[in-house]
Structure 1
Amino acid sequence: MAILEVKNLKKIYTTRFGGAQVQALSNVTFSVEPGEYVAIMGESGSGKTTLLNILAALDKPTGGDVLLNGKSLGSIQEKEISVFRRENLGFVFQDFNLLDTFSIQDNIFLPLVLSHKKYDEMAARLQPLVEKLGIREILKKFPYEVSGGQKQRAAVARALVTHPQLVLADEPTGALDSHASDELLDLFGRINREGQTILMVTHSTKAASHAKRVLFIKDGEIFHQIYRGTQTAEELYQKISYTLTMLATGGAEHD
């Protein structure tokens, strides 16, 4: 059974002045299986951010539905949505979203504190992540004392510490230099091979070439998708580049 099902998703915004309607998503349908690593790409204004916000239960669609493990996000009461999001979804953002007044360890613990977990359980959950992500030496430091790559690894730890059904990553390499980007993409590959389902929105062809499947959005619809299969990252990179050219020039995509 798919872990994530997106069915005929539509989103229409009404502008504040003049009442004009803008269709951000028109008919988006796809699913994500447990253990998949999916990248979503498209030009600015294609609907990627709108789609991610709906998948994260931060926005509601005008039509269609999103199901996580068979549960419709639309059926969740407003007062329960924060708890649902915290217990089922992990988030990795471009700008890290760490609190500068909290240590790295306390930033990682935050979703568990909000879920009223006891310290012993929080420490037990953190321990395996410390070694996997190489963050032991920065746990007592504050975000402003560490590098961008270290901040992003801390953000990944915060996303994983809740044992989420799905990790949603929004331009996770966008604020990183090339070395830190490579490290993060290697890390995503490792945690995916261990079974974590990941859905990543990115402008980066390099980042997308590490995924197992790439979905392309154009004008609010799924335009094309590429499966990695037996292709190397370099081969997938070339296919992604070609498809992005087709998106930009209005050409038709062919396998």
Structure 2
Amino acid sequence: MALLDVRNLKKVYTTRFGKHQVQALSNVSFTIEEGEFVAIMGESGSGKTTLLNILAALDQPTSGEVLLAGKSMTSIPEKEISAFRRDQLGFVFQDFNLLDTFSLRDNIFLPLVLAGKSYKEMSSRLLPIARTLGISEILDKFPYEVSGGQKQRAAVARALITHPRIILADEPTGALDSRSSDELLNLFGEINRQGQTILMVTHSAKAASHANRVMFIKDGEVFHQIYKASKSRHEFYQNISDALTVIATGGDRRE
């Protein structure tokens, strides 16, 4: 059974006065297996942000279904959705979403505090994650005292500390310089090799080349997908760039 099973998603937005409808997603179906690292790419307005919001249980589809480990996310009662999102999903955002009045340690602890975990359990969970991410020495610093790359590492630690089924990353390298981006993507690769499932939305072919599979969204549908398989990262990067060119120039849909 797939970890994430997306079935025939459709999303239609109605304008303020109900005069017009905009179809953001048409008929999106795909699966993600446990332990995969998948990137989603597409031009602005292609529907990838809408898709991510639905997968994050932040929005509801007009029709279709999303199952995580066999459980329908689209049928979870509203009063339970926040706890489900906190316990099952990890989030990494472009702008870090850290609280400046909290130390990095307290920012990372926040989802576990909300879940009512003890300080002893929170600390025991944090130690190995902090070592893996190389932030053990800066946990007592505040976000404004560290670099963008260090902030994003703290955000990744916050996503990992709940032991989520899947990490959803939205343009995680968008606010980082080239060196910090490379370091973060290498960390994602290491985390994935340890078994963590990752779904990343990105505009960057370089970032996507770190994934094992790339799905391309166009006009609200899955237009094409490619697998890394035994390719080198450079070869995979070239495949991704070629696919983006086909999409940008109006090429035919490929399965």
Shorter-chain TM band: over 0.9
- Specify the code of the residue in structure 2 equivalent to 1:68: L
In structure 1, the partner of 2:173 is 173
Contact 1:37 1:197 in 2 (8 A): yes
TM-score, normalised with respect to structure 2? 0.98
The range that moved more, 15-24 or 223-232, is: 15-24
* 1:147-226 → structure 2 map (5 Å cutoff): 147-226=147-226
1:78 aligns with 2:78: yes
In structure 1, the partner of 2:118 is 118
In structure 2, the partner of 1:108 is 108
Deviation of residue 19 (structure 1)? Answer: 2.1
Off by >2 Å, runs of 4+ in structure 1: 252-255
Contact 1:48 1:217 in 2 (8 A): yes
5+ residue gaps, structure 1: none
- Specify the code of the residue in structure 2 equivalent to 1:62: T
In structure 1, the partner of 2:229 is 229
1:116 partner SS: coil
Contact 1:243 1:253 in 2 (8 A): no
Contact 2:42 2:217 in 1 (8 A): yes
In structure 1, the partner of 2:19 is 19
Contact 1:246 1:253 in 2 (8 A): no
1:173 partner SS: coil
Deviation of residue 198 (structure 1)? Answer: 0.2
Q: Residue 7 and residue 254 in structure 1: after superposition, are their counterparts in 2 closer, same or farther (change >3 A)? A: closer
Take 1:66 and 1:254, find their aligned partners in 2: how far apart are those partners? 24
Deviation of residue 94 (structure 1)? Answer: 0.3
In structure 2, the partner of 1:31 is 31
TM-score, normalised with respect to structure 1? 0.98
The range that moved more, 129-138 or 148-157, is: 129-138
Deviation of residue 138 (structure 1)? Answer: 1.2
2:168 partner SS: strand
In structure 1, the partner of 2:47 is 47
Q: 1:167-190 CA distances to partner (integer Å, 9 max, x unpaired)?
A: 000000000000000000000000
Deviation of residue 253 (structure 1)? Answer: 5.6
Deviation of residue 18 (structure 1)? Answer: 5.3
Take 1:72 and 1:253, find their aligned partners in 2: how far apart are those partners? 29
Deviation of residue 74 (structure 1)? Answer: 1.6
Q: 1:127-150 CA distances to partner (integer Å, 9 max, x unpaired)?
A: 101110000121001101110000
Take 1:254 and 1:112, find their aligned partners in 2: how far apart are those partners? 43
**How many residues are matched?**
255
Take 1:254 and 1:223, find their aligned partners in 2: how far apart are those partners? 6
In structure 1, the partner of 2:244 is 244
Deviation of residue 75 (structure 1)? Answer: 1.5
Contact 2:92 2:155 in 1 (8 A): yes
5+ residue gaps, structure 2: none
- RMSD between aligned residues: 1.0
Take 2:160 and 2:251, find their aligned partners in 1: how far apart are those partners? 39
1:84 partner SS: helix
Q: Residue 23 and residue 253 in structure 1: after superposition, are their counterparts in 2 closer, same or farther (change >3 A)? A: closer
2:174 partner SS: coil
Take 1:61 and 1:254, find their aligned partners in 2: how far apart are those partners? 25
Q: Percent identity?
A: 74
2:66 partner SS: strand
Take 2:62 and 2:168, find their aligned partners in 1: how far apart are those partners? 21
Contact 1:10 1:63 in 2 (8 A): yes
Take 1:27 and 1:131, find their aligned partners in 2: how far apart are those partners? 42
- Specify the code of the residue in structure 1 equivalent to 2:37: Y
